[in-house]
Chain A
Amino acid sequence: MKLESAEAMSMASRHPEAVPKEELVRFEGVSKSFGALQAVHGVSLSVAEGEFITLVGPSGCGKSTLLNMTAGLFEPTEGRVTYRGELVRPYNRKVGYMTQSDHLLHWRTVERNIAVPLEIARMPRPQIRARVEELLELVGLAGFGASYPGELSGGMRKRCALARLLAYDPETLLFDEPFAALDAQLRLKMQMEIRRIVAKLNKTVLFVTHDLDEAVALADRCVVFAGRPGTIKEVLDIPLPRERDLFGIRHNADYVGMTARLWDEMAPAAAQCGG
């Protein structure tokens, strides 16, 4: 039922001028220190509903820290992080979080992994079964429900983690370099999948990556960080259509121009950070 209504909404979002976009996540002068180490300094950013934001920057410049603050796992040392206008408190349940390691429960089969958030929501068994079937289909894992994560390939485990993430229908998705460990081909496939699903379900996304191509290809807006401490260097609007073909996009002049520009942005930052 939720899927249907989400689809109805995404119909509307194809005409962005028709629906005023509401602000979802807002960072206001956010700084975060761990002891003496300042990880993030003076970050201000506003994320609108339905936006796909990518965050790029050298490692250690606080990208994960920003996601953790959005999820309410960390509190900012200075400034505030709000979600729909309210201060984010521990465990922001409006967000779903997917990290580089898939964090599946290896003692549960694929279907029972996907069922975890539904069990937590105390959904009745028959309903869980139906919903899990639907999700397996959505992420292309139909027929693998009874396998254990230990029997799956890396890409399939990512799909399983994605299905689990979508199961409880969080309105915002946080991705922290989820495909870093995948080979180029599989990564492209997963990227297409993510764009397709996110557009279909009209999710808001914060997607951390250190892959500049990925940062441009996926994003509506790309936030470029410099370290350390991590600050926002620039926010790039990506002038690519919402419905995009990630495969053919490699030849798109806008895409090529944006990635080239990003490369130039990042080169001095990388030198400064020393990797």
Chain B
Amino acid sequence: MMILSRFAILAALLAFWEIASGRLIQEYLVSKPSKIAETFLDWVMDGSIFFHAGITAIEALAGFVLGALAGMVLGMVLGRAERLAELLNPFIMAFYSIPKIALAPLFIIWFGIGIEMKILLTGTIVFFLVFLNTYTGVRSVSPELINILRLMGANEGDALRKVVLPSAIVWVFTGLRLSVPYAMIGAIVGEMIAANRGLGYLLSHASSQFNTAGVFAALAAIIAMSVLMNTAVSVLAHAAMPWEKARQNREIAI
């Protein structure tokens, strides 16, 4: 039922777009769904969409994984080492306040315009989101809970494995979920700044040729990839946190 309604809404939007284009608004501004689909199909036929999407996927995924791993590890370490965290706080905050995209020119100097630079850009963006969330998660672990385990004879390792890691994991996944669109930003913007391949390149290339249908087709591919990554993170989160499902199934009460 829900799915049907959603399809109906989508169909209505596309139909309106198709009709309005060229009548209510000039076609070179918004193109039209039939033309976009045609362009998309052409790209599928000659395989170019898969090539470009593959490049972007590698950049986004590699950056995502590297940034997330680094963020988790550092978040865990600093979350437990209070003094060290306090010492490093101004540096972390200074680095955090840089708009990460502004680092792109530096990364180009270091790595050229290949995929390494996009991976690094994506990784830097994802790193901070995951780091800050993991850090907050570790810091918010209830000290009473740790005390209770200590009375049971737990050492620091037991406390870390049985309390800190699992209670921080919810926060880690919050960070991961937030990171998905930013990972795409890193990869796409990197490609728009300097590249000759990838969905971002496809996008800016189509735009530079005033190929509006091409721009929308590239956007559609980007949306599809984001949705796919979002879904993957959600599936992962469900698998890693089965208790959350039990919680959500509870009826809401005050």
Residues of A within 8 A of B (CB): 71, 73, 91-93, 95-97, 99, 101, 103, 105-109, 116-117, 119-121, 147-148, 150-151, 168, 170
Q: Does B238 contact A (CB under 8 A)?
A: no
Q: Does B34 contact A (CB under 8 A)?
A: no
Q: Does B102 contact A (CB under 8 A)?
A: no
Also in contact, A97 and B151, with CB within 8 A (given A105-B166, A107-B166, A116-B162)? yes
Residues of A within 8 A of B150 (CB): 91
Residues of B within 8 A of A109 (CB): 243
Also in contact, A103 and B243, with CB within 8 A (given A91-B151, A120-B152, A150-B250)? no
- Nearest-CB residue, chain A, relative to B247: A150
Q: Are B142 and A119 in contact (CB under 8 A)?
A: no
Q: Which residues 127-157 of B have a CB within 8 angstroms of A? A: 142, 144-145, 147-154
- Nearest-CB residue, chain A, relative to B159: A120
- Nearest-CB residue, chain A, relative to B249: A151
Partner of A105 from B158, B162, B246 at Cβ < 8 Å: B162
Q: Does B73 contact A (CB under 8 A)?
A: no
Residues of B within 8 A of A92 (CB): 151
Q: Are A168 and B153 in contact (CB under 8 A)?
A: yes
Q: Does B113 contact A (CB under 8 A)?
A: no
Residues of B within 8 A of A150 (CB): 243, 246-247, 250
Q: Is the interface of B mostly helix, strand, loop or mixed?
A: helix
Partner of B144 from A95, A103, A107 at Cβ < 8 Å: A103
Also in contact, A121 and B151, with CB within 8 A (given A103-B142, A107-B241)? no
- Nearest-CB residue, chain B, relative to A121: B153
Residues of B within 8 A of A91 (CB): 150-151
The docked-state distance in angstroms from the alpha carbon of A97 to that of B150 is 11
Question: What are 20 residue pairs bridging A and B, where the CB atoms are less than 8 Å apart in the complex?
Answer: A93-B153, A95-B151, A96-B152, A97-B147, A97-B151, A99-B144, A99-B148, A101-B144, A103-B142, A103-B145, A105-B145, A105-B166, A106-B243, A108-B243, A116-B152, A119-B162, A120-B153, A150-B243, A150-B247, A168-B153
Q: Does B167 contact A (CB under 8 A)?
A: yes
Also in contact, A93 and B243, with CB within 8 A (given A105-B163, A107-B167, A120-B158)? no
Residues of B within 8 A of A121 (CB): 152-153
Q: How large is the interface on B (under 10, 10 to 19, 20 to 34, 35 or more residues)?
A: 20 to 34
The docked-state distance in angstroms from the alpha carbon of A73 to that of B145 is 12
The docked-state distance in angstroms from the alpha carbon of A116 to that of B152 is 9
Q: Given A95-B151, A99-B144, 6 more contacts at CB 8 Å?
A: A93-B152, A96-B151, A101-B144, A119-B162, A148-B246, A168-B152
Residues of A within 8 A of B148 (CB): 97, 99, 103
Q: Which residues 212-254 of B have a CB within 8 angstroms of A? A: 241-243, 246-247, 249-250
Q: Are A71 and B151 in contact (CB under 8 A)?
A: yes
The docked-state distance in angstroms from the alpha carbon of A109 to that of B242 is 10
The docked-state distance in angstroms from the alpha carbon of A96 to that of B13 is 63
The docked-state distance in angstroms from the alpha carbon of A93 to that of B158 is 15
Residues of B within 8 A of A170 (CB): 151
Residues of A within 8 A of B153 (CB): 93, 117, 120-121, 168
Also in contact, A93 and B151, with CB within 8 A (given A105-B162, A105-B166)? yes
Q: Which residues 145-197 of B have a CB within 8 angstroms of A? A: 145, 147-154, 158, 162-163, 166-167, 169
3 closest Cβ pairs, A-B complex? A117-B152, A148-B246, A150-B247
- Nearest-CB residue, chain B, relative to A116: B162
- Nearest-CB residue, chain B, relative to A71: B151
